[in-house]
Every structure is written in C-alpha cells, then in structure tokens.
Structure 1
Amino acid sequence: MAEITYFTEEGMKKLRDELAQLKGEGRTAIARQIAEARDKGDLSENAEYDAAKDAQGLHELRIAKLEETLANARIVDESKMDASKVLVLSNVKIKNIQNGKVMSYQLVSENEADLKAGKISVKSPIGQGLLGKTVGDVAEIEVPTGLMKFEVLGISR
C-alpha cells in the first residue's frame, strides 16, 4: 500500500502538469526517436534504437510513478491546522544555536522540497526534528555532521 503524501495546491498542479507533458509531448518525442532509429536499418546492431527503447522504458516508469503519487496525494487544508505548532506547510523561522544564524523554511512533502526556494521535506532530519515544536522550543536534531540545536523563533502559514 502506497503512503499518502500531502501537497499544496501549487505542488499538486506541478505534478499534474508534468504528467500531462510526459503523456503528451514526451511520448510523442520518444516515439519519433524510436521511429528514426528503426529507419536506420538492422535493429539487432542498432545502438540508437536500443537507447531510444531504454529511454521509453524510463519515461513510462516516470509516468507510472507520477500516477501513483497523484493517486495517493491529498491537498492540505491549512484552515484546519493548528498554527501554534510546526506542521506540514508551516513556515518556520529557526535559529541555529551553535552559530546564531537565523533561517526560514517551509516544511513540505518530499516531492515539493526545494532548498533553494526555502522548502524542506518533512521527512528530512531537520523537518522531522521540527515537527510538533512550538515557538521557543529547542529542537535537538541528529544530522549526518552531528547534533544540531535549533530554536523555533516563529511559526506562520
């Protein structure tokens, strides 16, 4: 049984758009590559044909994975969430106690995580360590480089 994953409206739209692109333009492009390679002669010695068929397999695997993710996806209703605790979709402002650096992140599902955009996965060590914390709490989080301590400075939606 697949695990239910929670998304924002924006994240769900991105997944649906990617799936539509893969099923439409993506499949057409792969079919064209296979046809071009097939036209080049003997298929038993045609590396280009083999590469195109491999690409098709990977493409279909990505489509199946996206369909499974969407089948088990739920959009989070932020209006029903407790804003006093760090939960999925919370915007959290934290301070690294060791170096004093202040950072802000939004906790999102694994598929929406993008560190450059300030979105970290709720399944990452830091994301898991922050879940359930309230303003003023100190989270001690075991990361690959050792133990880190973060103070929760603010939580918003």
Structure 2
Amino acid sequence: MTETTGTWLTQEAFDRLKAEYDHLVGEGRAAIAKEIDERRQEGDLKENGGYHAAREEQAKQEARIEQLRHILENATVGEANETSSITSGTVVTAEVAGREMRFLVGSREVAGGTDIDVFSAQSPLGEALMGKTEGDSTSYTAPNGNDITVKVIKVEPFNG
C-alpha cells in the first residue's frame, strides 16, 4: 500500500472517519443551518457577530466534510502489513540526525487519538524511508537545505 494511491487506513480509522463524516453531513449541517437561521432573525446582519460566527463555523465544517470525503474516497483500507520494509502504515524507530525517534509513516488520520508522531510518505523523511528495512541507512535534504542522515532501527506494523 502506498501513499500515492490514497491514504492507508486501518478499518477502525476508516470507520471513525466515516462516522464523523456522516454526523457532519447529517446532524452537523442541520444544527449549523438552524444556528444561522436563529442568528439571522436577530436583525441587522452587518453588526450581528453571532451570525458571522455561525457562518464561519459553517465554512469550517464544510471544509472538514470535503477533507473527509476526499480521504474516504481515496482510502486504502486494510490491516497493518507484517513486513520488514517501510510502507505507509508502518511504525519506524530510527536514528535521525543522531537522535532516536519513533513515528508512523502515513497519515495523521490513521493515528487518530494516539500520541505517536506522524510523517507523511510524501514528506522528505517519509520519501527517504519508503522501502527501507531494519539496518538500512539513508539521508534526505531538510527544508533548510541540510542533509540529514537516518538509520532504521526497527520496523513494525501500526496497530492503532
């Protein structure tokens, strides 16, 4: 599973995002529409802070709906790979610029409520690590132009 074909998600993450999407397009839209209507009835819209706040909240909600729709439509759903090479959805322990780090290569949406750091497969670090295995060394160019060395210590599937 590669990040370029979509976002890799566990079934649990997919179900969680789908539930959020369903809530936002159903109850969420109805609630914000009601809020806007109530604020509109308060009078002059130019000076109605509640109305403008509700419209801003509606815009944020619609942006999240679109983001979720895109993720869900392009998601690759499956179990964590039992592989020794780094793919989207694997947890990597690596020495990065002399400092040991543990992180998920994939999407923040997959990580959900966990506190693990996440690096996209398209990030400079993620791209450098894709396909590598335990013991491999590589490097990537950081946004500031410095070359950063990386040594893979451990590769494991993400289990949410």
Q: TM-score, normalised to structure 1's length?
A: 0.78
Question: Percentage identity across aligned positions?
Answer: 32
Task: Determine the C-alpha separation between the residues in 2 that align with 1:58 and 1:70.
Answer: 18
**Alpha-carbon deviation of 1:138?**
0.7
> Residue in 2 aligned with 1:117?
116
Of residues 28, 38, 49, the one that matches 2:30 is 28
Residue in 1 that maps onto 2:92: 92
Counterpart contact for 2:95–2:153, Cα < 8 Å: yes
2:102 is aligned to 104
Which structure exhibits the higher relative contact order, with contacts defined as CA atoms closer than 8 Å and separated by 6 or more residues?
A: 2
Deviations along 1:74-122, one digit per CA (max 9) or x if unpaired, are 213445x6x12111122222113x43x2222221235436894233222
> Could you tell me whether the CA contact under 8 Å between 2:134 and 2:152 is conserved in 1?
yes
CA RMSD between the two structures: 2.7
Give, in whole Å, the separation in 1 of the partners of 2:115 and 2:147: 23
How big is the shift at 1:151?
A: 0.8
Separation of aligned partners in 2, 1:91 and 1:47: 46
In structure 2, stretches of 5+ residues that fail to align are none
Alpha carbons 1:110, 1:123 under 8 Å: kept: no
Q: Which runs of 4+ in 1 moved over 4 A?
A: none
SS at match of 2:151: strand
1:85 alignment partner AA: S
Cα distance in 1 for partners of 2:100, 2:46 equals 60
Answer yes or no: is the 8 Å Cα contact 2:11–2:79 preserved in 1. no
CA separation of 1:155 and 1:58: change in aligned 2, threshold 3 A: closer
The alpha-carbon deviation at position 10 of structure 1 amounts to 2.9
Query: Cα distance, 1:28 vs. partner?
Result: 3.3
| Conserved? CA contact 1:90–1:106, under 8 Å | yes
1:143 CA displacement: 1.2
The two structures have a TM-score, normalised by structure 2, of 0.77
The separation in 2 between residues aligned to 1:76 and 1:144, in whole angstroms, is: 32
Bigger CA radius of gyration: 1
- In terms of mean alpha carbon deviation, does 26-35 or 41-50 score higher? 41-50
Residue 65 of structure 1 and its aligned partner are, at CA, apart by 2.7
Unaligned runs of 5+ in 1: none
